[in-house]
Structure 1
Amino acid sequence: MHIVFFAHPSFLNHQSMPRFARVLAEGMKERGHKVELWSPQARFFRLPSLSVMRKWLGYIDQYIVFPREVRIRLKQCPPNTLFVLTDNALGPYVPFIADRPHVIHCHDFLAQRSALGEIRENPTSWTGRSYQAFIRRGYSKGKRFIYTSRKTQEDLHRFLPQPPLTSEVVYNYLNQSFVPSDVAGSRRLLGSRFGLDLAAGYLLHVGGNIWYKNRLGVIDIYDAWRSTDEVKLPLLLIGEVPDSNLIKRQELSPFKTDIHFFSGIEDEFVRLAYAGASVFIFPSLAEGFGWPIAEAMASGCPVITTDEAPMTEVAGKAGFLIPRRPHAPSKVDVWATEAAKVVKKVLRLSPAEYEEVIQSGLKNSERFDQKKTLDRIEQIYQKIVEAA
């Protein structure tokens, strides 16, 4: 096959989506296919300007300059070329290839749902709503889609004007090697790196500051647990530098000296953090997939996550589930108290029960193998080209 991948521009400094595009491109190239990677280049974006203008200059590169380049390049592509959009947010480019063999990888529609007023925790401005409508008009022209979860599939089917010709769910893969390690050794090495005594264990969360990660809820659960249990383990939050709201929440905690934020951590130590954690807490409000759930399980760590899709899809029967954090502030304390009971339950498992949980998580994480995922995607690509 001749495959052209559309990817986000590197000048946006995104992490997960460009990495996903690269893995797809490299995986298909290794399988013997001719591969091209197309993405907007920084031309107007790199011009000297005020920081407030850079976003708009980036839009010129993405939605004025790049489309012109695409029209020219399309003339050089054979009729059976497969065009792959590596993210549904690249929807504005779909009309250029809608009548040619194509497929769109869909990761989540959280921004789309927020723009439509479906998610109260993430209100969207008029410009944001207009931008998401622009994206939706684009991908609505598409006919073939691959989704990272059934939840994402369900969302898209609501947004499309008609059923797609291809609608396949292929779960994400682990993009690093996450394996169980010696727990005591992992805690010792991590403690040395962070300057903490972690020998007795710790609670862990991995995620950024974006609203749906619910880092505030992690601290709510931790406070509720510490208030009702004599066990005293620290809480580690690994990810972005905490924002002002998160810092304020930490300061209000009676256990603030045991709440630790770490950012810019090397991948090696993130893997050690998973392997040494007593329990991994992931109370997301929403996700497109939920990589950390699979990463923690593959590392031999028990997982507590939200009882909603797609978190339930990733956790399978191996996770401990809690309700979604309520939107009403008056109900948060009750929610956190109930979630804290689940934390206590996990930490008080017998050695045999704990081992059973670990083995269940390891078995579940086998579903997210990179080779199996790429093989499945290749099969779908081939079917699309054959159908065309």
Structure 2
Amino acid sequence: MFQPPHTNTLSPGRVQTGNSALPNPRKEAPPAPRPAAPAAPTPHPTRRDPFFDNAKYLAIVFVAMGHAWEPLTGQSRTAGALYLLVYAFHMPAFIVISGYFSRSFDSRPDRVRRLVTGVVVPYVLFEAAYSLFRNVAGGTSGHSVSLLDPWYLTWFLGALFIWRLTAPIWRVIRQPVAVALVIAALASLSPSIGDDLDLQRVLQFLPFFVLGMCLKAEHFHLARRRVVRVLSVPVCLAALAVSYWAAPRMNRSWLYHRSSAQELGAPWWTGPVMTLALFCCAVALSVCFFAWVPRRRMWFTALGAGTLYGYLLHGFLAKGSRFGDWYDHDWIHTPLGQVAVTAIAVVVITALCSTPVQRAFRFAMEPRMPWAFRPVASPGTR
């Protein structure tokens, strides 16, 4: 409530002389009450759209399931087909969402700080942690920390850093998705790019990030229309059938987008062809995925804010299962064992996205670090 500045509290009919209050010989009318100052509007916190939190959580669940299925694909064609199907769209869908929320990124100080604390710092810390884990649990002593050679899941943080820095470019050029596709196609036939910052993945996944930047909220609403949901069923069934056919025939490294065509033992021209074909497949399956994402708040909606926690932390368990030969037990390769592995992956990734885990690892994932940044200058100061 507004309060006027502090004044002497004397009666209107008295005047103050020294330390005494004497009657005022001339009676004056009491002053009119001052109008109350209008209350400042209370800022409303930005409400999170449950649709996107639901989509992020479900996408990260598919990521965990895909990692859990990978050791099963050698002995199960069904597992191989499901693996191909999930890998065809789960990271593209996740990257589309990342691009959508990077549409307004610019060099404003607060956004640059969030980029540093939310992407750069976790990249450095988890790259070091993964390298140490690889040396200790994997028995590969001597594996040094290299910030230019991301290992396992940290490539995404490096890619996100580069993609966001280029965001202003995609907002001003014509046909940004087409340009990004050309860049991805050129990368797919350029083995000389090398492994620094996993640039093959950065460039080959770039079209999905740019596509996300070009989307608007109404595009996601269109994907939720009934006709799209109905059509998504035969599309997914056809994609599953193609995946089952391709499982023993296709080199699944194409879906990782981390190698050129020549490195995969294919003619150079297959790089651009596969880039365009996989982009179209990923977009179609991502639309099917978004069509079935709930728009209302669900029991898992709050977990959408912690998907990056789940993504980075579950990598220790995924790699630990390989280092520890957890898949050497025969029962795991039975249908019941495969269902159990899938359920365990869902439970683990759900737990790693939870609020207690976020609180425990916020120091590494979202540090505040006020000591690392200069104070923001007020307008008009130098």
Q: TM-score, normalised by structure 1?
A: 0.23
Higher relative strand content: 1
> Radius of gyration: which is bigger?
2
Q: TM-score, normalised by structure 2?
A: 0.24
Bigger RCO (CA 8 Å, 6+ sep): 2
